[in-house]
Amino acid sequence: MAVTDHVDFPTFMEGVKKRNPHQPEFVQAVQEVAEDIFDFIEDKEDYHSEQILRRIAEPDRVVSFRVCWEDDAGNIRVQRGWRVQNNNAIGPYKGGIRFHPSVNESVLKFLAFEQTFKNALTGLPMGGGKGGSNFNPKGKSVREIMRFCQSFMTELYRHIGADVDVPAGDIGVGGREIGFMFGQYKRITGEFTGVLTGKGLEWGGSLIRTEATGYGAVYFLENMLKHRGESLDGKTAVISGSGNVATHAAEKIVQLGGKVLTLSDSGGFIHDPDGLTQEKIDWVKTHKTHRRGRISEYADHFTGATFHPDATPWNVPCDLALPCATQNELLGPDARALVENGCTAVSEGANMPSDLEAVHVFKDAKIMFAPGKAANAGGVAVSGLEMSQNSERRAWKEDELQAMLHDIMDGIHDRCITYGDQGGGYVDYVKGANIAGFKKVADAMLAFGVV
Ligand code: GLU
């Protein structure tokens, strides 16, 4: 019988790079996981001989399609759409849809790969997928967005289903876009099913789905601090982003006694030394979501706050940092500045916001660092609970859901400790999350044989 030689880490990564040329984000995400998994599987023959990591790092399929739509001026516009179905070993593919000009196959493959581990960590039966388009919603009218969403779903509908693949929102896709896509799915198929999550409360959505990612990232942070005998009370936090994740993370930090100093968008960041209050956060929510405004206007509105164009908030001294905007927004030098300025804990609200160098800076400094696949899993976890409610054709109460979200984030923290405890009080949360997520998916794959 042929026996596959054990491939070492450099050879494995060389193969990943060769097979995925011009896909730096995907290669980065695989490397971050493989660094830990190679140590873990060293003495585990099955994982080697069954080529488990090699198989998880090859999406089950990548569907790419044309999306045509007509703008308000009557011009025909053509965008590219994708759905990356990475792995469904433990449940239907699950993951958001992103509309942003930076979206390409590499970005979606990285996100679908990350999602596979994140979803496994939640303990819920969800596989990993991600989709999106290079469509830029910025500056488009509501009708244009509706026509784009309808055209996108006219192609996507044949690849998804409540037991097949359940998309949700992500950057550029919120409740409004989910509504347009759900409406089109229902129109084409004639079925009312839980095929998307992040739905409106009147039509199958779940309470606390909107808050879940930001709140979850703070619950995870709280768990890390608690593990070291500390709390959020009185601590200062810098947050990037000003969307759904950032504003709800800010809200929860303030509720738990912390002080939030910054928020940002692609134009720069605002620094409010007095700290954000609930009233200020509510203003940002309305300003960004309903008025689609810029964060710079915060500084005109609230005295004492300053706006810093074309800059990120990582040089502002703080105890805690929560990157909640997008991938690779926190680089090696930013991580060094945070550590030098006394930051002791980082919780990633976005997906892979810290680049590989930044992750290594945090690990070397042995600060508490929660990777996105653990820290931001609260969003998809409540999506999983939305799927359960849809299957049951019931809607659960807010306090039940809050307790479940808290419980799921505590469970993820426990799983990270199981595989990431390095002794001497230091927990390598990246390693813990990677191994715990991998093990669940890998063991399911072993059970299925070579498929
Ligand atoms: N886009 C979110 C994430 O990155 C949520 C996905 C979902 O709810 O399916 O996890």
Ligand 1: residue whose CA is nearest its atom 10: 380
> Average pLDDT of 48-61?
96
> Average pLDDT of 54-82?
98
Q: What percent of the chain has pLDDT over 90?
A: 97
Query: How many whole angstroms from 72 Cα to the centroid of ligand 1?
Result: 31
Q: Among 108, 213, 387, which residue has the most ligand 1 atoms within 8 Å of its CB, making it the best to mutate?
A: 213
Is residue 255 over pLDDT 50? yes
Residues with CB under 6 A from ligand 1: 94-96, 168, 170, 197, 351, 379-380, 383
Q: What is the pLDDT of residues 314-353, one digit of tens each?
A: 999 999 999 999 999 999 999 999 999 999 999 999 999 9
Q: Which ligand 1 atom is at minimum distance from the Cα of 94?
A: 9
Give Cα 329 to chain centroid, integer Å. Answer: 14
Task: Look at residue 4 in the predicted model and tell me its pLDDT.
Answer: 56
Secondary structure string (H, E, C) spanning the chain: CCCCCCCCHHHHHHHHHHHCCCCHHHHHHHHHHHHHHHHHHCCCHHHHHCCHHHHHCCCCEEEEEEEEEECCCCCEEEEEEEEEEEECCCCCEEEEEEECCCCCHHHHHHHHHHHHHHHHHCCCCCCEEEEEECCCCCCCCHHHHHHHHHHHHHHHHHHCECCCEEEECECCECHHHHHHHHHHHHHHHCCCCCCCCCCCHHHCCCCCHHHHHHHHHHHHHHHHHHHCCCCCCCCEEEEECCCHHHHHHHHHHHHCCCEEEEEEECCEEEECCCCCCHHHHHHHHHHHHHCCCCCCHHHHHCCCCEEEECCCHHHCCCCEEEECCCCCCECHHHHHHHHHCCCCEEECCCCCCECHHHHHHHHHHCCEEECHHHHCHHHHHHHHHHHHHHHHCCCCCHHHHHHHHHHHHHHHHHHHHHHHECCCCCECHHHHHHHHHHHHHHHHHHHHCCC
Task: Look at residue 339 in the predicted model and tell me its pLDDT.
Answer: 98
Q: Which ligand 1 atom is at minimum distance from the Cα of 119?
A: 10
Provide the annotated active-site residues. Answer: 130
Q: What is the pLDDT of residues 150-188, one digit of tens each?
A: 999 999 999 999 999 999 999 999 999 999 999 999 999
Q: Among 121, 130, 170, which residue has the most ligand 1 atoms within 8 Å of its CB, making it the best to mutate?
A: 170
Could you tell me if 359 and 418 are in contact, meaning their C-beta atoms sit under 8 angstroms apart?
Answer: no
- How far is the C-alpha of 128 from the C-alpha of 21, rounded, in Å? 22
Q: What is the pLDDT of residues 115-139, one digit of tens each?
A: 999 999 999 999 999 999 999 999 9
Q: Which ligand 1 atom is at minimum distance from the Cα of 95?
A: 9
As a whole number, the mean pLDDT across the chain is: 97
Q: How confident is the model at residue 3 (pLDDT cuts 50, 70, 90)?
A: low
Query: How many whole angstroms from 291 Cα to the centroid of ligand 1?
Result: 24
Q: What is the dihedral of CA 362, 363, 369, 374, to 10 degrees?
A: 130
Q: How confident is the model at residue 1 (pLDDT cuts 50, 70, 90)?
A: very low
- How far is the C-alpha of 55 from the C-alpha of 34, rounded, in Å? 12
Q: How confident is the model at residue 5 (pLDDT cuts 50, 70, 90)?
A: low
Ligand 1: residue whose CA is nearest its atom 9: 95
pTM here? 0.97
Q: How confident is the model at residue 450 (pLDDT cuts 50, 70, 90)?
A: very high
Compute the half-sphere exposure of residue 124: CA atoms within 13 Å on the CB side of its CA: 26
Q: What is the dihedral of CA 270, 272, 275, 278, to 10 degrees?
A: -50
Which residue segments constitute the domains of the chain, with CATH numbers given? Answer: 9-56 (no CATH), 61-194 (3.40.50.10860), 211-370 (3.40.50.720)
- pLDDT higher at 437 or 4: 437
Task: Look at residue 229 in the predicted model and tell me its pLDDT.
Answer: 97
